[in-house]
């Protein structure tokens, strides 16, 4: 086995491991999404009863809505500061906010967590598909690999723009541009090498 084949075998092995890890993390994200959706539905279905149960747990010391970290106790949770200035121009929504604000707030938090986990699962599946494609191809320097890697990096850049900020999104876009150029150059070298043989 020549040196090129040894390096290709290493690339395939690393991609196989990357694909497995990405798939496992994708499954974890999907489970997290489903749990958050179940929690969202449960909270919204409880309505005013959620507020009552939440206040009972708060009085019992099981739940805290402050930013302080207390002593460790069974079921003790810190759920952060509750916004008190919620308002909606939709009369029905405003009525729900006034009737059971904690239900609306924490139901919304759970829904946002579910959406975040779903987006993460999609990104992990895309990453897994990149690893699978590189593992399957005869060389990592093909147009299909270059396009897929570039697409995933651009999608990540867009996601980072909306979540972490424009600076991180811009940095990821620059990385996408550089990786695209590197893979394009590698494809040119691969073509020249194949023609020489």
Residue 49: count of CB within 10 angstroms of its CB: 11
- Percent of the chain exceeding pLDDT 90 equals 21
The pTM is what? 0.74
Q: In Å, what is the CA distance from 192 to each residue of 6, 176, 189, 195?
A: 19, 24, 5, 5
Q: Give the position of tokens 């239900």.
A: 103
The answer, yes or no, to whether residue 121 has pLDDT greater than 60, is: yes
Which of 57, 81, 54 shows the shortest CA–CA distance to 67? 81
* 136-174 pLDDT tens trace: 887 778 888 888 888 888 988 888 888 878 888 888 889
The mean pLDDT of 36-52, rounded to a whole number, is 90
pLDDT of residue 117: 93
pLDDT of residue 66: 58
For Cα atoms 8, 10, 13, give the angle at the middle one, nearest 5 degrees.
110
Which of 136, 176, 131 shows the shortest CA–CA distance to 23? 131
């Amino acid at each position: 086995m020549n040196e090129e084949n040894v390096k290709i075998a290493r690339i395939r092995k690393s991609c196989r491991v990357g694909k497995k890890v990405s798939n496992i993390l994708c499954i974890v994200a999907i489970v997290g999404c489903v749990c958050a959706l179940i929690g969202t539905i449960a909270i919204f279905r409880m309505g005013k009863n959620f507020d009552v149960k939440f206040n009972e747990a708060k009085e019992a010391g099981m739940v805290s809505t402050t930013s302080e970290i207390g002593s460790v106790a069974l079921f003790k949770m810190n759920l952060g500061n509750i916004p008190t200035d919620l308002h909606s121009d939709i009369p029905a929504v405003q009525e729900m906010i006034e009737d059971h604000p904690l239900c609306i707030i924490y139901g919304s938090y759970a829904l946002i967590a579910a959406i975040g986990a779903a987006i993460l699962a999609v990104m992990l599946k895309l990453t897994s598909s990149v690893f699978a494609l590189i593992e399957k191809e005869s060389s990592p320097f093909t147009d299909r690999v270059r396009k897929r890697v570039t697409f995933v990096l651009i999608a990540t850049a867009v996601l980072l723009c909306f979540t972490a900020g424009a600076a991180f999104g811009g940095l990821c876009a620059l990385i996408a541009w550089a990786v695209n150029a590197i893979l394009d150059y590698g494809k040119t070298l691969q073509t020249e090498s194949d023609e020489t043989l």
